[in-house]
Chains A and B, each alone.
Chain A
Amino acid sequence: MNIAGIELKNPTILASGIMGTTGAALARMGRNGAGALVTKSIGPVPKKGHNNPSMVELECGYINAMGLPNPSYSGFCEEIGIAKSKTDAPLIASIFGGDSAEFTEVARGLLSSKPDCFELNVSCPHAEGYGASVGTDPDLVHEITASVVDAVDVPVWVKLTPNVTDITSIGRAAETAGASAVVAINTVRGMAIDIHSGYPILGNRFGGLSGPAVKPVAVKCVYDLYKALDVPVIGVGGITCPQDAIEMILAGASAVEIGSAVHDDTQIFETINKGIDAYLQKYGYSKTEDIAGLSHEMI
């Protein structure tokens, strides 16, 4: 299936930040059935990330504040090369920067490793000066997206934050700047406190919520973006089973990204793909595209 300029093996994509540190780990997820692979977010210089605890399972999902750890674009080219050589799943490079110049520098720096697509992280909720710090401003999102689109010859997707009043205004900014797709959503800003010690649990004190708790938020964002934009919407947030993926596709997603659910099952991609196929067959559809956004017609 061709989605937003790249040929996906199937509609389930490994989300950024999950098993994305090394080429070998990415390739493993490709072997496990992922239709495409998104790397961890790569920036201009090596970054250690926040102190631990950086990810904790809560009663309703997961809260994390990794702090964008990465070896920089120069240190990561080799890993993209390894991933591409060991799996035929398209490789999407997630990148971040503090401004359009840094985003462009990172994108150009990774081009030699031939990623199939770039995903701009303007949505990480807990890295000061990066991510959502720039992704809540439509003008900045427009400027960054246009700058990267200009600099590279592969599709550019923009991953949006739900921590805004109107996600469609940010989506429109990305679309008008030349994005081939938008990805919604990144984690929802959140916090957990240990009531016995009084300490916030995450090393960074606050972070982003993922997992089942955020799925309704993601479905609503995808639904709104599908209605507002012409470019494809990639749905992500709390997908743990085929039913979740189908719900997201009915809301308007052309494909889905899967993150935290890898915790319970590294074969999750195969499981979800089989479930989607069974659903399509049961209701008489031939392909995922037939049901994308179908819920918009049910008024």
Chain B
Amino acid sequence: MRPIHSKITEIIEESPNVRTFFFDTHFETAIPGQFVMVWVHGTDEVPMTLSGKNSITVQKVGDATSRMFELGIGDHMGLRGPFGRGFTPPEKDEKVLFIAGGVGAAPIAPLADIIKARGIEGHTILGSRCCDEILFRERFACGRVDITTDDGSEGRSGFVTDQLAETDTSDYDRIYVCGPEIMMYKVFEILKTRDVHVKTEFSLHRYFKCGIGVCGACSMDPEGLRVCRDGPVFNGSELEGSEFGHYERDSSGCKCHF
């Protein structure tokens, strides 16, 4: 598909470095965890997981996202998608745990919206660097929310893993995780030790070139799974023994260790 010329209809400043952009293009069929390729005209095209049917939540980290932060309501971007495999929504009687760190809360928030609408109770461990950067706390209000901050400015001082270490995970049917890869890997290690990693789903990030499953730039070792097409959401059992938590590849294909 060609990029859909999409107008920015609203911008919410979530924190100094994170903004949510709303568009006049709605991806009604999108499953939480799926992504769109966002074309910032004249700069670059980057993958962004949808934080809603018509929104992306962006952290300013590079050329494309910096350019996005210069755009205002009425400006346009090109959107292609939705692409990839999203999260598996829970059944009505299942117990759900969300673990989100930083802007990793964005792909999980639409799942929390669904759970809230279906009346399912979800427990969330929501981490950020400081109180000003806590994302979507109101969207996760579908049950208990444990907040952690690196600097201790709100909630528990420390990381989501500190909270997870004291959380009994045996009762949960599904555990959804997104955040920086090192955080996700630490979570994976804890849950694997408890032998509940098969109940988990992780949303991964890799450098995407084509974004549609052809070029192989985002393939993960050792099975050659494509993050853009076979993911970005993977079950924990699919990540066992993989490069997850160890290294990724840059745009030239060179390995970069975490």
Measuring CB to CB, which residues of chain A are less than 8 angstroms from any residue of chain B?
17-22, 24-29, 40, 46-49, 51-58, 62, 64, 66, 69-72, 75-76, 82, 192, 194, 196-197, 199, 201, 203, 259-260, 262-263
Contact of B219 with A by CB under 8 A? yes
**Assuming A69-B209, A260-B214, is B252 touching A57 (CB within 8 A)?**
no
Residues on B facing A (Cβ under 8 Å):
1-3, 5, 37, 39, 41-46, 76, 78, 80, 208-217, 219-224, 226, 249-254
Are A22 and B224 interface neighbours, CB within 8 A? yes
Q: Show 19 A/B contacts (Cβ-Cβ < 8 Å), sorted by A.
A: A21-B253, A22-B219, A22-B221, A24-B222, A24-B224, A27-B224, A48-B250, A52-B37, A52-B45, A53-B78, A54-B45, A55-B211, A69-B209, A69-B251, A70-B252, A194-B41, A196-B76, A197-B5, A197-B76
Q: Chain B residues near A40 (CB, 8 Å)?
A: 215-216, 253
Known: A46-B254, A194-B2. A55 touches B223 (CB 8 A): no
Q: In whole Å, how far is B190's beta carbon from the nearest beta carbon of chain A?
A: 27
| Contact partner, A66, options B44, B215, B224, Cβ 8 Å | B215
A229 → B minimal CB distance (Å): 30
Does B216 contact A21, Cβ atoms closer than 8 Å? yes
Tell me whether A194 and B5 are in contact (CB under 8 A). yes
Question: Measured between C-beta atoms, what is the minimum distance from B174 to chain A in Å?
Answer: 27
Instruction: Give the secondary structure class of B's interface.
Output: loop
Partner of A52, one of B76, B209, B222, B252: B209
19 A-B pairs besides A21-B215, A66-B209, A69-B252 with CB distance below 8 A are A18-B214, A19-B216, A20-B216, A21-B253, A26-B224, A27-B224, A28-B219, A40-B215, A49-B251, A52-B37, A56-B80, A66-B210, A69-B253, A71-B253, A75-B252, A194-B41, A199-B42, A201-B3, A262-B214
Q: How far is the CB of B46 from chain A (nearest CB, A)?
A: 7
Task: Decide: B224 and A28 in contact? CB cutoff 8 A.
Answer: yes
A-B complex: 10 closest residue pairs judged by Cβ atoms: A28-B224, A196-B5, A52-B45, A55-B210, A19-B216, A25-B219, A25-B224, A24-B224, A25-B216, A48-B251
Query: Which chain A residues border B46 with CB–CB below 8 Å?
Result: 52
CB–CB B209/A56 < 8 A:
no
Q: Is the CB of A53 within 8 A of B224?
A: no
A26 nearest CB neighbor, chain B only: B224
* Distance of B252 from chain A, by nearest CB (Å): 4
Rounded to whole angstroms, the CA-CA distance of A203 and B2 in the bound complex is 14
Query: Judging by beta carbons under 8 Å apart, are B222 and A53 in contact?
Result: no
Report how far A27 CA is from B219 CA in the complex, Å. Answer: 11
The answer to whether B215 and A19 touch across the interface, beta carbons within 8 angstroms, is yes
Chain B residues lying within 8 Å of A25, measured Cβ to Cβ, are 216, 219, 224, 226
Residues on B with C-beta less than 8 A from A24 are: 219-224
Q: How far is the CB of A266 from chain B (nearest CB, A)?
A: 8
Contact B44 A51 (CB under 8 A): yes
CA distance A291 to B215 in the complex (A): 32
If A201-B3, A203-B44 touch, whether A22 touches B216 (CB-CB below 8 Å) is yes
Please, how many angstroms separate the alpha-carbon atoms of A61 and B41 in the complex? Answer: 22
Q: Give the docked Cα–Cα distance between A92 and B212 (Å).
A: 24
B5, A70: Cβ atoms closer than 8 Å: no
Q: Give the chain A neighbours of B249 by CB distance below 8 A.
A: 21-22
Say yes or no: B2 contacts A75, CB within 8 Å: no
Q: How far is the CA of A263 from the CA of B1 in the complex (A)?
A: 13
A53 / chain B contacts, CB cutoff of 8 Å: 3, 37, 39, 45, 78
B217 and A56 contacting across the interface, CB-CB below 8 Å: no
Residues of A within 8 A of B250 (CB): 48
Looking across the interface, which residue of chain B has its beta carbon closest to that of A20?
Answer: B216
Contacts of B253 in A (CB 8 A): 21-22, 40, 69-71, 75-76
| Chain A residue, CB-CB nearest to B77 | A197
Query: How far apart sit A253 and B22, CA to CA, in the bound complex (Å)?
Result: 51
B211: chain A residues at CB < 8 Å are 52, 55
